[in-house]
């Protein structure tokens, strides 16, 4: 994981080894420097890098604002940042300890937007590298100092930089005031501290008469400074204390960074509202479809239950028919034939009853004829156009004198009742067969 440090004239690439930063590359603000940096990025992983901006002095303004709801606070801070620093996107709001419950103190921090910074960011984008975080030095002071010394509620940090000093007031570990001066001689540093202290008292940032002081710089630089009291001294390895900040472990780099999460534009809010409404309509439509599907399933389940009930009733009727068939002496082989003939028999039941009545009347009018067998059928007669047929078998009585005449009279009587009769007899035999048919109506 790289630590990129952007100075006013060059961009440095650093890595951390055994808790110390080591430079592995420096790229000047020239076309050749950008080309070399692009080639350097091609050999690096695409994510996880941290960028520390030190190309210009940061600006910080602390204000006290009334409290409001979460969304109103967020919108208010975004509008205030845009009004204070309209010329840069490198800005963020830091919440400070509030003097009262009805108000809140906010520090608005920003760095200037420069073509050099944009050029380096374009190089990172061309290499498809997205920095894990973009920070400035005041945001890293608190976690850096906390590794070496327990922080007090208020702490004034005097840090050494190349040909400049920076004064930063930390309240609960958060920057509340900033001042940077260039080319300050060591003997004039106490005067700069007094002036900064007077400025923050006038601005209302703090009312404490004295604030603990912390010196952050090389040992040689700290020896040249004479300040009253016993300040906290933290010795750095480099003359620019920002380089030592790069050694901070990645998980200790704060969440406050640049740029802040962008607030939705009013048009985006309208789009989001429209999407929410569309999602609601889709949810309602899905619910309606689910209910309709459920209703359909319930209807089908009801039909299935009715079908099952009919099947159970048919099975019961089938068992009853089998029981009656066994009582009538039908065999198992005859039962399928009976089931097949049942439909035709049921449709010709009236014809069968009428034909039996007509036959009985004709037999009553013709004495001397006894029937031995009767077979009535209504199936397989559709092609011949016949409604039913009846096959009779019988014999003549022994006392009958005119056998052919008796049979002929029976045939005539049956024809007069709408039936066709065909009589068959054997010579010298009293037995005969009679076939009766009727046309379809």
- Condensed to tens digits (0 to 9), the pLDDT of residues 136-145 reads 888 888 888 8
Q: State whether 317 and 399 are in the same domain.
A: no
The answer to whether position 340 is within a domain reads no
Confidence of residue 83 (pLDDT cuts 50, 70, 90): very high
Q: State whether 318 and 360 are in the same domain.
A: no
Q: State whether 148 and 254 are in the same domain.
A: yes
The answer to whether position 337 is within a domain reads no
Residue 261: per-residue pLDDT: 43
Q: State whether 310 and 435 are in the same domain.
A: no
Q: State whether 287 and 323 are in the same domain.
A: yes
Q: State whether 91 and 115 are in the same domain.
A: yes
Residue 345: per-residue pLDDT: 62
Q: State whether 259 and 277 are in the same domain.
A: no
Q: State whether 369 and 252 are in the same domain.
A: no
The answer to whether position 352 is within a domain reads yes
Q: Flag whether pLDDT at 263 surpasses 50.
A: no
The answer to whether position 221 is within a domain reads yes
Q: What is the pLDDT of residues 92-104, one digit of tens each?
A: 888 888 766 677 8
Q: Flag whether pLDDT at 65 surpasses 80.
A: yes
Q: State whether 10 and 40 are in the same domain.
A: yes
The answer to whether position 111 is within a domain reads yes
Structural domain total, the chain: 3
Q: State whether 423 and 401 are in the same domain.
A: yes
Contact 414, 359 (CB under 8 A): yes
Domain region containing 299: 265-329
Residue 27: per-residue pLDDT: 92
Q: State whether 256 and 311 are in the same domain.
A: no
Residue 388: per-residue pLDDT: 66
The answer to whether position 68 is within a domain reads yes
**Mean pLDDT of the residues in the chain:** 80
Domain boundary among 216, 234, 263: 263
Q: State whether 158 and 177 are in the same domain.
A: yes
């Amino acid at each position: 994981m790289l630590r990129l440090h952007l100075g006013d004239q060059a961009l440095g690439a650093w890595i951390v080894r055994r808790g110390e930063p080591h430079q592995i590359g420096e790229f000047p603000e020239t076309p050749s420097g950008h080309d070399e940096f692009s080639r350097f990025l091609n050999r690096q992983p695409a994510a996880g890098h941290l960028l520390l901006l030190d190309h210009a002095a940061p600006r910080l303004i602390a204000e006290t604002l009334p409290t409001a709801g979460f969304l109103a606070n967020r919108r208010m801070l975004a509008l205030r940042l845009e009004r204070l620093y309209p010329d840069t996107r490198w800005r963020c709001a830091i919440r400070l300890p509030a003097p009262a419950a009805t108000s809140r103190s906010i520090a608005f921090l920003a760095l200037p937007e420069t073509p050099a910074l944009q050029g380096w960011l374009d190089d990172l984008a061309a290499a498809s590298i997205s920095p894990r975080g973009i920070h400035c030095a005041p945001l890293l002071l608190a976690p850096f100092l906390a590794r070496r010394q327990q922080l007090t509620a208020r702490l004034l940090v005097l840090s050494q930089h190349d040909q400049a000093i920076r004064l930063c007031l930390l309240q609960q570990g958060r920057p509340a005031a900033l001042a940077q001066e260039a080319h300050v001689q060591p003997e004039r540093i106490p005067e700069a501290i007094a002036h900064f202290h007077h400025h923050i008292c006038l601005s209302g940032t703090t009312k404490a008469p004295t604030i603990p002081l912390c010196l952050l710089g090389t040992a040689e630089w700290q020896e040249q400074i004479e300040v009253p009291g016993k300040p906290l001294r933290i010795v750095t390895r480099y003359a620019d204390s920002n380089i030592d900040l790069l050694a901070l472990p990645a998980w200790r780099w704060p969440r406050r960074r640049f740029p802040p999460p962008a607030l939705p534009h009013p048009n985006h809010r309208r789009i989001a509202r429209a999407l929410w409404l569309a999602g609601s309509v889709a949810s309602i439509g899905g619910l309606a479809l689910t209910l309709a599907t459920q209703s359909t399933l319930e209807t089908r389940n009801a039909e299935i239950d009715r079908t099952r009930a009919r099947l159970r009733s048919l099975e019961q009727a089938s068992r009853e028919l089998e029981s009656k068939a066994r009582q009538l002496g039908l065999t198992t082989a005859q039962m399928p034939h009976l089931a097949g003939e049942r439909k035709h028999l049921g449709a010709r039941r009236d014809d069968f009853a009428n034909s039996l009545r007509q036959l009985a009347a004709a037999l009553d009018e013709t004495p001397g004829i006894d029937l031995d067998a009767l077979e009535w059928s209504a199936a397989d007669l559709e092609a011949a156009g016949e409604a039913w047929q009846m096959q009779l078998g019988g014999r003549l009585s022994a006392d009958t004198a005119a056998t052919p005449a008796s049979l002929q009279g029976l045939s005539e009587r049956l024809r007069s009742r709408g039936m066709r009769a065909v009589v068959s007899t054997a010579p010298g035999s009293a037995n005969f067969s009679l076939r009766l048919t009727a046309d379809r109506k």
